[in-house]
Copies of this chain bind each other. A is one copy, B any other.
Amino acid sequence: HDVQKSRDTRRVPINKVGVKDISYPIVVMDKLKKVQHTVARVNMYVDLPHQFKGTHMSRFVEILNSYREQIALDKMETMLEEMKQKLGASSAHLEIEFPYFIEKRAPVSGARSLMEYTCAFRASLNDTFDFVLEVRVPLTSLCPCSKELSRYGAHNQRSVMTVQVRYREFIWIEDLVTLMESCGSSPVYSLLKRQDEKFVTEQAFENPRFVEDMVREATLRLTADENISWFSVEAENFESIHNHSAYAAVERDKR
């Protein structure tokens, strides 16, 4: 008989049960090229009523396998609906994290290369559908305090900003990246020629930003965007003068 279906008498419903950290090749939508192949790390969970002993783990993988060529924002709700139905659950959760690449042109030479942005789709469905888009954007930050104090130079470093948004109308990853890249002292690039390196060095020096400034700039832009209904934004500076990070975070519900 089916052990998972057998009756459980402990009267403990389970919030989330499923598969975690499964690595799978997927295809996502790309603003310029229509589609983009990437590799995802996926979590899939449902709730389990108290009277059932176990869920059916293999069904999660079957669903993932059948949708993997069409992982798009507009498929998330369908996948969750199928998870609820095939697992006999009243709520379902889907988390898909993947590297996403955007072609960028160096600011002066125009040299093209690809930049990686780690993205995640975090979706849930019980009676209503909830979707959060997450993007991690690397940046340069240059310290305003160090610039003001010092006779020359200013310490700067790589930073990463993590933004999560809920929105009304569809939004492209590319557009969210553009919005975030304006929040630091300078964007970063995979490929910079000498004239580009001069440009980004000077740009950073002209735009000193604390970690506090970065989340505030993002807050202003995300608040002004009427399509965004909720957001959370974090900035982390991998300080060049320390072996630890500076960190700031803002969350705002506009609903």
Contact = CB atoms under 8 A, between A and B. Distances in A.
A154 interface: yes
A67 interface: no
A242 interface: yes
Nearest to A199: B150
Contacts of A244: 19-23, 190
A162 interface: no
A201 B14 contact: no
Nearest to A44: B247
A194 to B, nearest CB: 6
A197 interface: yes
Interface string A2-25: 111000101011111111111111
A212 B153 contact: no
Contacts of A58: 111, 191-193
A250 B201 contact: no
A53 interface: yes
B57 A246 contact: yes
16 contacts: A14-B249, A17-B249, A20-B236, A25-B38, A38-B39, A43-B247, A45-B249, A54-B144, A55-B212, A150-B198, A153-B205, A154-B201, A157-B158, A157-B240, A188-B241, A190-B244
